[in-house]
Chain A
Amino acid sequence: MEQAEAKTLEVIRQDAFDPAKFLEELDAFPGVDKIKNCMQCGVCTASCPLSHEMKETPRKIIEMIRAGMRDEVLASDTMWYCASCYACTVRCPQGISMAEVMYALRTIALRTARNLSAAFYKTFSDTVRRYGRMHESDLMIRFALRTNPLSLLKMGPLGLRMLAKGKMSLSVPTPIRGAKEIGKLYDKVAELEGGA
């Protein structure tokens, strides 16, 4: 009992975290600088259609960021539930763009995360690089192969109905004429981000 308590205390020890460092990392993303103004009113959490599903609510995540709890924040599932509906963003009395905070957290977490959401966003990006545009069937098949090939069977019935309605095509996608430009954009971004 006494030992357990000591352990808890250790987790919240101030010097275990470095608030300035995490804030600085986030500051590299445009539109997230206002989080220092958060007054913990919780309007974001109350406005969020999915906050009840999250381990940590949006309000709590902000406070964890400001406490420098980088690992805990990145291990949370909060950002993977954000649908970018901007309900929190338009209601925040301090003008914080929570949607942008969530994008930033996802981008940082994506570098190491190995979950379904990370695989989806990466596959999406790969598809756009390949063709310059999105191709749903291509995306879904590659996503399934990357995560759980058996899920292709589960997607089958809906996929077939989509094909029947002409909402999906199995033809080989044609890249746009400027596909080379898209490739160059990706390379340039990698270069700039690698150098930063």
Chain B
Amino acid sequence: MSETKTKDAARHKGAGEAKPDFVFFPGCSLHSTAREYHDSTVQSMAVLGITLEELDDWNCCGATALSSADSLLSYALPARNLAMTQERGLPMAVACNSCFVTLNRVNALMATDAPYRSKVEETLKAIGRRLDGPVEIRHTLHIIYHDVGLDRIREKVKRRLEGLKVAPYYGCQIARPRHEFSDPEFPTEMDDILEAIGAEVVRYDRKTKCCGGALMTTKEDVVLELNEQLLREAQVRGADLIAVCCPMCQMNLDAYQGKINSRFGTDYQLPVVYFTQLLGFALGLDEKAMGFGRGFVPAGKHLKKYA
């Protein structure tokens, strides 16, 4: 069945077209609040020679909210996406940290022979799908760092972001709990990519401290505090802006920055952009196409001199 499907998809794409490198799982945020992350990821990876094909008819991974509501469902829902990826016969690329951790959680279960695994398989059977063991799941940051590599990025740079001071903020769910990044608490992959495009990476000790994620909805007061601390360190280290790789982090730090300023009597004006926006811009892609205008705190003045 999976072979037929793959052939159909290939026909559908037109003969002679090369097979894409990854099935891309965008997740809900990249289709709504974080469209600029979607566009800058797909476009800059294309420039770097990596083609992504969006997973057809994907569903919400459930994020941490579903893991909190229903255990079996929190495995079964993302498992449908993995099953469809396996049918397509390609590894999966994910850009959202929350989707990444959720999909990997299913993968970890599929690598075991726990009785719980057969329960998940039973739910898939009810919708006529199956999942044979884990699927290769890669974060787009990991792909850009390892599969493209820093040398190739340096070669392709059209605008070196010389003098731009960037705080690299990874968030928590990209390197934890165990995702093959250089370190679960102090990863360096994004730092290196930002340096490869000429930016100056400032020291940022809170690079994987939590932004509170979805708790902004249910525990706003304390989550505003967490984000104030993240902004404060970026400011103290002299950053012009913060680079992120997760839609939740971006939303909390950017959309709530005004609220943080009025709550804590601060005056932060720190743009919070996706690292792929900076990457794409450095690779020569149009500033508008990279969606810098979609942030609440404008980033434009820091980019003017490179345009």
A residues touching B (Cβ–Cβ < 8 Å)?
29-30, 49-50, 53, 79-81, 83-87, 89-90, 97, 99, 102-104, 106-107, 110, 116-117, 120-122, 124-125, 128, 132-136, 140, 143, 158, 161-162, 165-169, 176-178, 181-182, 184-189, 192-193
Contacts and interface: CB of A to CB of B under 8 A. Distances in A.
B171 to A, nearest CB: 8
A83 B69 contact: no
Interface string B23-59: 0000011011111000000000000000000000111
Quick one: which of B62, B176, B185, B226 has the most chain A CB within 10 A? B176
B222 A84 contact: no
B25 to A, nearest CB: 12
A140 B67 CA distance: 19
Given A84-B67, A168-B33, A185-B80, A128 B59 contact: yes
Given A87-B210, A117-B218, A185-B77, A103 B71 contact: yes
Nearest to A49: B210
B32 A169 contact: yes
A189 B79 CA distance: 13
B148 interface: no
Contacts of B62: 125, 128
Contacts of A177: 57
Given A30-B116, A184-B127, A85 B176 contact: yes
A13 to B, nearest CB: 32
Nearest to A104: B71
B126 A184 contact: yes
A161 B294 CA distance: 11
19 contacts: A30-B116, A49-B212, A50-B215, A50-B226, A83-B223, A85-B176, A85-B213, A97-B177, A102-B68, A103-B71, A107-B68, A120-B218, A128-B60, A128-B66, A168-B33, A176-B58, A184-B126, A187-B126, A188-B76
Given A84-B101, A136-B32, A107 B218 contact: no
B60 A193 contact: no
Nearest to B171: A85
Interface string B294-307: 11100000000000
Contact of B69 (A97, A125, A182, A187): A125
Nearest to A50: B222
B143 interface: no
B71 A107 contact: yes
B218 A116 contact: yes
Given A132-B60, A178-B57, A192-B72, A120 B65 contact: yes
A86 B68 contact: no
B114 interface: yes
B213 A193 contact: no
B226 A49 contact: yes
Contacts of B71: 29-30, 103-104, 107
Nearest to A77: B219
A120 B172 CA distance: 22
